Amino acid sequence: MTRTSLERVEARLGDPVMSAALVAEHGLSPEEWERILELMGREPTFTELGVFSAMWSEHCGYKNSRPLLRMLPTEGPAVVQGPGENAGVIDVGGGWGVAFKIESHNHPSAVEPYQGAATGSGGILRDVFTMGARPVAIFDSLHFGSLDSPQSRYLFDGVVRGVGDYGNCVGVPTVGGEAIFDPAYEKNPLINVMCIGVLPLERLIRGEAEGVGNPVMAVGARTGRDGIHGATFASEELDEEAVDSRPQVQVGDPFTEKLLLEASLELIERDLLIGIQDMGAAGLTSSGTEMAARSGSGIDLDVAYLPVREEGMTPYEMLLSESQERMLLVAKPEHERAVREVLERWDLQAATIGRVTDDGMFRVREDGVVRVEIPVKPLVDDCPTYVREGAMSPATAEARAVDLRPYSSFATDGEVEAALGTLLDSPSVASRRWIYEQYDTTVQTNTLEGPGSDAAVLRLPAEGRALAAATDGNGRHTWLDPRTGGRAAVAEAARNVACSGARPLAVTNCLNFGSPLRPEVYFQLAGAVEGMGEACRALRTPVTGGNVSLYNETGAQPVYPTPVIGMLGVIEDLERRVPSAFQREDDEIWVAGRTRDEIGGSEYLAACHGLVAGRPPAVDLGEAAALVDFLVEGAADGAFASAHDGSDGGLAVALAECAVGAAGGPLGCTVDLDAAPAGANVSAAGRWFGESHSRVVLTCRPGAGERIAAHGRRHGVPVARVGTVGGPGSPCRLTGAGHAIAPAAAELARIYEEAIPLRMSEEAGITS
């Protein structure tokens, strides 16, 4: 199928005429258009314009983020596959690897929450199993507006159903994630889904198109007109008209996904393939060109052979469709028949639509006539990139300057108790049970610690080992101080994983920001990535891939800049894993890490005073790394009965969570917060609810505290005994900074458990 000298690229009859307006509609700037003319040496056809539009969108081309992403470390001893593939892969020992990646589906979910979230799950699952890995876990990191808003309740409900139904049907447990509620996300919810898969390392396969003449096959669902230009859509701001963009949102079919999953793994296991890739964003265009680009080859397709769902589809539509549950694969030529047989066994469509070439061209024909001929390398690799000037927004500067002293103390003990109640009732802090009970969390029988603990823990096929994973991000902190927020996302995720006893190994990231054309957003993006890179280096957790989602804004109101980190770690001996909640009455309670006077950006200020202000807590990376070592070595030594990260709501909330989360029902406790390690001049609010980093609530059997102390000395982590776990009927007696409260543990549990269900009850109403 090499083009002969007689063939020429022909426009189709009826194609729109090129114009500046048409180019602009395709999201390309005049400079980018000039670049296209230069590299093509001619004016592109309408179909070719569509291809450029998709590949040079932010979603595929990373034009505003690529220079910044170079700041991230991507190499380390455990990394087998870094960024640039369908998913990253790390070595977890015993010949086993773990493939993982996080991806956003923010724009589609804002328009159609159920399908947006479902297809987001579908896409990330395919990214993982196309590496040859069996998906074993899904995590969802969700950000919505306040649950007091009917629109947010509608979006939240739809997204949870969408994530749940898809994963439940495919049979992959959803075992962790986060849910944050803040008015900043009212019109632009963030839906980030991480998938983790396990593979024997010798079976690792990549998205490559090698070997001249090898067949290129389209597999799975038929191609329809849905989701055309989804990648470009995801690279624009949402406006009121977006609600009319429903055709750009695809519909998911998890049943077909399950068949694709099983068939793909069988094809890979039997070594029948050269390469395989999801037809995700920008569909056939991105999968075809990216596979060719990785191999330095070309690809020659004829869309006449592509199975379609509708009559009369143009090459433009077929190339840009984002119909779900489709894959592109390059088969070993001698196995083309065997490939077909496997697919037929799973009742899947397979069509050979082209061949690999060596001329470096992405060529697409319509019944033999060439409609597209673009050199692959510049199309994929030379998307123009931009380095912009950033500047802190006046609103951030103003918020940082707010005097927090009026909020730093409490008039009465009752005020402290009320604040604790308000925090436990905040949907961003409260129990996520309403969410995760709609998810299958135990299918595949690997779940050792499911949702509700700091990190989910899953057993690995390698004897005796377990995998721990968590997702974290803090938009509020990042808005107040981008670099600190970037550091915090990594440090908190590492701390969560280390609390379970796992050594953090690598991360995947999802960057959710507004329009980078805005100086204040670019400032946030650049700062957050810088901070993330610093923390990844300090904690020796390289980035193996991820996703950038920009233009999360409506009516010039961007979301909080929200970098989300998905962190993976390994526990050598799964019997040594550490749970989060209190285990037994009379256990000693300890706190590791220093409390400083840091209430800036806290959930306490937001929930109790409606205030997002101050400087967020600093992240000392030396302290963060020392705490991780302390936790991992202490766990391996069996020094901890439980370990729980202190974050949103500070120490008081962390203690309450340990108490209400106890497996057999709430346990009380007696704790003196003043005994916890602290810096100078910590205010009452800082002591109770401040969110200083690198702090953990630990417990151990009575009399076993010396081991905690010894590990603390060894790693330079300040530790102190602060109290004792109480019995099932006893209250949580907390004292500190001259205040004392003793709410019943059962009452705290009630507040914590009812917060989300009450807001989502029938009476609250869900509008559509």
Partner 1 sequence: MTAGMKVGIVRFPGSNCDADVYRAVTEGLGESATYLWHKSTDLEGVDVVVLPGGFSYGDYLRAGAIARFSPIMGEVIDFARAGGLTLGICNGFQVLCEAHLLPGALVRNRHLRFRCHDVGLRVENAATPFTTAYSEGDLLHIPIAHGEGQFVAEAATLDELEAEDRVIFRYVDRRGEATDAANPNGSARNIAGIMNHEGNILGLMPHPERHSLAVLGNTDGLAVFQSLLASVLRARGCRSDPPRAEAPEFAVGAVAGASS
CA pair distance 749, 180, nearest whole angstrom: 20
336, exposed or middle or buried, with CB in 10 Å at 0-12, 13-18, 19+?
A: middle
Q: Does 677 bind partner 1 (CB under 8 A)?
A: no
Q: Does 438 bind partner 1 (CB under 8 A)?
A: yes
CA pair distance 474, 182, nearest whole angstrom: 11
Which range in 299-307, 345-353, 383-391, 716-724 contacts partner 1 by CB under 8 A? 345-353
CA pair distance 670, 732, nearest whole angstrom: 6
Nearer to partner 1, 21 or 663 (CB): 663
Which range in 19-27, 72-80, 432-440, 552-560 contacts partner 1 by CB under 8 A? 432-440
Nearer to partner 1, 321 or 441 (CB): 441
Q: Which of 439, 522, 640, 752 binds partner 1 (CB under 8 A)?
A: 439
Which range in 6-14, 197-205, 342-350, 484-492 contacts partner 1 by CB under 8 A? 342-350
Count the Cβ atoms, other than its own, within 10 Å of residue 117: 29
Half-sphere exposure of 311 (CA within 13 A, CB side): 0
Nearer to partner 1, 325 or 373 (CB): 325
CB of 707 to partner 1, least distance (A): 24
Which range in 363-371, 433-441, 508-516, 731-739 contacts partner 1 by CB under 8 A? 433-441
Task: Convert residues 225-264 into a mask of x (bound to partner 1 by CB under 8 A) and - (unbound).
Answer: ----------------------------xxxx-xx-----
CB of 437 to partner 1, least distance (A): 5
Q: Does 462 bind partner 1 (CB under 8 A)?
A: no
CA pair distance 657, 648, nearest whole angstrom: 11
Please name the residue that has the structure tokens 């309740």.
Answer: 153
- As annotated, the active-site residues are 59, 105
Nearer to partner 1, 294 or 577 (CB): 577
CB of 251 to partner 1, least distance (A): 13
Please name the residue that has the structure tokens 């080992």.
Answer: 465
The answer to whether the beta carbons of residues 693 and 602 sit under 8 Å apart is no
Q: Does 445 bind partner 1 (CB under 8 A)?
A: yes
Which range in 123-131, 431-439, 528-536, 722-730 contacts partner 1 by CB under 8 A? 431-439
Q: In what order do the strands lie in the sheet with 503-512?
A: 447-449, 456-459, 466-472, 562-571, 503-512, 543-549
Nearer to partner 1, 432 or 495 (CB): 432
Nearer to partner 1, 171 or 183 (CB): 171
Task: Convert residues 148-187 into a mask of x (bound to partner 1 by CB under 8 A) and - (unbound).
Answer: -------------x--xx--xxxx----------------
CA pair distance 600, 614, nearest whole angstrom: 4
| Residues 346-365 close enough to bind partner 1 by CB under 8 A | 346-347
Q: Does 761 bind partner 1 (CB under 8 A)?
A: no
Nearer to partner 1, 228 or 267 (CB): 267
Q: Which of 448, 489, 567, 632 binds partner 1 (CB under 8 A)?
A: 448
CB of 310 to partner 1, least distance (A): 21
CA pair distance 263, 323, nearest whole angstrom: 19
Which range in 350-358, 421-429, 439-447, 731-739 contacts partner 1 by CB under 8 A? 439-447
576, exposed or middle or buried, with CB in 10 Å at 0-12, 13-18, 19+?
A: middle
CB of 598 to partner 1, least distance (A): 37
Nearest to 603 by CA among 758, 734, 426, 741: 426
C-alpha to C-alpha distances, 328 to 126, 147, 353, 537, 546, nearest whole angstrom: 11, 41, 10, 36, 21
Q: Which of 42, 442, 679, 729 binds partner 1 (CB under 8 A)?
A: 442
CB of 766 to partner 1, least distance (A): 12
The DSSP letter of residue 112 is S
CB of 438 to partner 1, least distance (A): 5
User: Residue 70: which residues within 8 A CB-CB, separation 6 or more?
Assistant: none
Q: Does 638 bind partner 1 (CB under 8 A)?
A: no
Please report the DSSP string for 353-385 in residue order. EEEEESS-EEEEEETTEEEEEEEHHHHHH----
CA pair distance 548, 250, nearest whole angstrom: 20
Q: How many residues bind partner 1 (CB under 8 A)?
A: 30
Nearer to partner 1, 254 or 275 (CB): 254
CB of 163 to partner 1, least distance (A): 11
Q: Which of 444, 519, 584, 629 binds partner 1 (CB under 8 A)?
A: 444
Q: Does 459 bind partner 1 (CB under 8 A)?
A: yes
The answer to whether the beta carbons of residues 269 and 137 sit under 8 Å apart is no
| Residues 570-599 close enough to bind partner 1 by CB under 8 A | 574
CA pair distance 271, 264, nearest whole angstrom: 11
Nearest to 563 by CA among 618, 612, 524: 524
CA pair distance 4, 639, nearest whole angstrom: 72
- Cα maximum dimension of the chain: 89
CA pair distance 543, 75, nearest whole angstrom: 8
Q: Does 758 bind partner 1 (CB under 8 A)?
A: no
Helix (H) and strand (E) counts in the chain = 26, 28
The answer to whether the beta carbons of residues 719 and 712 sit under 8 Å apart is yes
CB of 433 to partner 1, least distance (A): 8
Please name the residue that has the structure tokens 């899947």.
Answer: 348
Nearer to partner 1, 189 or 579 (CB): 579
Q: Does 447 bind partner 1 (CB under 8 A)?
A: yes
CB of 175 to partner 1, least distance (A): 11
Nearest to 175 by CA among 128, 131, 141: 141
CB of 165 to partner 1, least distance (A): 7
- Point out which residues bind partner 1 (CB under 8 A): 161, 164-165, 168-171, 253-256, 258-259, 345-347, 436-445, 447-448, 459, 574
